[in-house]
Structure 1
Amino acid sequence: MSQPKNGFQVHHIEDAPEESRETLQAINQAYGFLPNLMGIVSESPAALKAYVTLNRLFKEESAFSQTEAELVLLIISAHNGCGYCVAAHSAGGERAGVDAATLEDVRQQRELSDPKLQALAAFTRKLIDARGWVEHKDVDAFLQTGYSHRHLLDLLTALAMKTISNYTNHIAETPLDEALSAKAWKEAS
Structure 2
Amino acid sequence: MPISAFPDHTLESAPAAARRTMAAVTAKQGYLPSAVARLATSPELLDSFLKASAAFESTTLDPLSREVLIMTMATGNDCHVCVAMHTAKLTALGAGPEVVAALRERRALPDERLQAVRVFTLAVIATAGAVDDATLQAFQAHGYTARNALEVVLGIGTYTMSTLANRMTGAPVDPQLAAFA
Q: Which amino acid aligns with 2:146?
A: H
Which residue is 2:68 aligned to?
A: 71
**Structure 1 segment 97-136 matched on structure 2, within 5 A:** 97-136=94-133
Q: Structure 1, residues 10-62: CA drift from partner, whole Å, max 9, x if none?
A: 21122111111011001001111111111111111111111111111211x21
Shift, 1:133, TM fit: 2.8
Q: 1:88 aligns with which of 68, 85, 96?
A: 85
Q: Check the 8 A contact 2:36/2:46 in 1, yes or no.
A: yes
Q: What is the match of residue 14 of structure 2?
A: 16
Q: Answer whether contact 1:37 1:165 (CA < 8 A) is retained.
A: no
Identity %: 28
SS at 2:37's partner residue?
helix
Note the residue ranges of structure 2 that are not aligned, 5 or more in a row: none
TM-score normalised by L of structure 2: 0.93
Mapped to 2, the partners of 1:10 and 1:179 lie a distance apart of 16
1:6 Cα deviation from its structure 2 partner: 5.6
**Is the 8 Å Cα contact of residues 6 and 171 (structure 1) preserved in structure 2?**
no
State how far apart, in whole Å, the 1-side matches of 2:141 and 2:161 are: 30
Q: Counterpart amino acid of 2:6? A: F
> Quick check: 2:75–2:83 contact (8 Å CA) kept in 1?
yes
Aligned to 1:187: none
TM-score, normalising length: structure 1: 0.89
| Mapped partners of 2:155, 2:71: distance in 1 | 10
Unaligned runs of 5+ in 1: 185-189
For 2:5, what is the secondary structure of its paired residue?
A: coil
Aligned to 2:168: 171
1:25 aligns with 23
User: What SS does the aligned partner of 2:125 have?
Assistant: helix
Deviation at 1:98, TM superposition (A): 1.3
Residue identity in the other structure for 1:75: T
- Which of 41, 46, 49 aligns to 2:44? It is 46
Distance 2:126 2:113 in 1: 20
Contact 2:39 2:169 in 1 (8 A): no
Between Structure 1 and Structure 2, how many residues are aligned? Answer: 180
Aligned runs of 1:121-160 on 2, under 5 Å?
121-160=118-157
The secondary structure found in structure 1 opposite 2:166 is: helix
